Amino acid sequence: VQYIYLIKTGEKEKKNLDLVSTNLRPGAEQKVVFITARVHPGETPSSFVCQGIIDFLVSHHPIAKVLRDHLVFKIAPMLNPDGVYLGNYRCSLLGFDLNRHWANPSPWAHPTLHGVKELIIDMYNNPKINLEFYIDIHAHSTMMNGFMYGNIFEDEERFQRQAVFPKLLCQNAEDFSYSSTSFNRDAVKAGTGRRFLGGLLNDTSYCYTLEVSFYSYILAGAAPAVPYTEEACILLKPILLQHT
């Protein structure tokens, strides 16, 4: 497919950290959507969601074409390949929760995180690139439905703008719950991608954690829970892209 590129951004224990990118457009001004997944190895639904996003972006759907024409998508489908290979649930090869080390990742101890952070900072410092969205995909072991975590800002207008995207998802994705979505700046979350990049990037950037349940989602007004299957994760999440 001509509009998709696979870039090897790093390697550890001979397992690559790959980056999928659409329409590199060297030298042109770019509006970028950066998506990461599987920083916690045991959260397998995040990979299914990420696969659904990639499948949609490479499809012939007219909305996918519009997205490719106007945005550059950069996707790191597996931030913790060593942890996945070893069968870990949350940590890396060396026992670190990578999603608590965004503030100061070590190239030795957290090489994949270090590489992705350096790439994002390079884009941030490039006057021709505007990083519009950062979305980190996770799976939740206790809550139902899909939902998001966002950031709180002192600027009320900026905070209100952060809430628009989750509201659009709630209106258009039957499995997404705005009531479960929350905005916070808890100290224990300070090292996460969503929190760190939300503080680093300018006020035109939107940073979120997208969570999808391990189990089920409940439709409005319907009592029975609908199980999340691999197919459901892959098919439902392209709605995420249609409102970026």
Whole-number pLDDT of residue 15: 67
Query: What's the maximum distance between 2 C-alpha atoms anywhere in the chain?
Result: 53
Catalytic one of 29, 132, 211, 231: 211
SS3 category, 192: coil
List the beta bridge partners of residue 129: 30
Which CATH number describes the domain made up of 4-241? Answer: 3.40.630.10
Whole-number pLDDT of residue 154: 87
pTM (2 d.p.): 0.89
Whole-number pLDDT of residue 234: 64
Whole-number pLDDT of residue 140: 96
Tokens of 59: 């499809």
Q: How far is CA 76 from CA 115, 134, 140, 145, in A?
A: 11, 11, 20, 23
**Cβ atoms of 50 and 77 closer than 8 Å:** yes
Whole-number pLDDT of residue 198: 94
Closest by alpha carbon to 117, among 221, 50, 19, 15?
19
Closest by alpha carbon to 242, among 21, 70, 64?
64
Expressed in percent and rounded to 5, the helix, strand and coil fractions of the chain are: 35, 25, 40
Tokens of 28: 């042109």
List the beta bridge partners of residue 37: 137
**Amino acid at the residue 170:** C
**Cβ atoms of 20 and 5 closer than 8 Å:** yes
Whole-number pLDDT of residue 138: 97
Residue segments in the chain with a per-residue pLDDT below the cut of 70: 1-15, 24-26, 222, 232-244
Tokens of 210: 């997208």
Q: How far is CA 173 from CA 75, 165, 216, 233, 236, in A?
A: 21, 12, 14, 12, 7
Q: Give the contacts of 65 (CB within 8 A, at least 6 positions apart).
A: none
**Cβ atoms of 200 and 153 closer than 8 Å:** no
Kindly report the length of the chain. Answer: 244
Q: 231 catalytic, yes or no? A: no
Closest by alpha carbon to 41, among 95, 94, 79, 2?
79
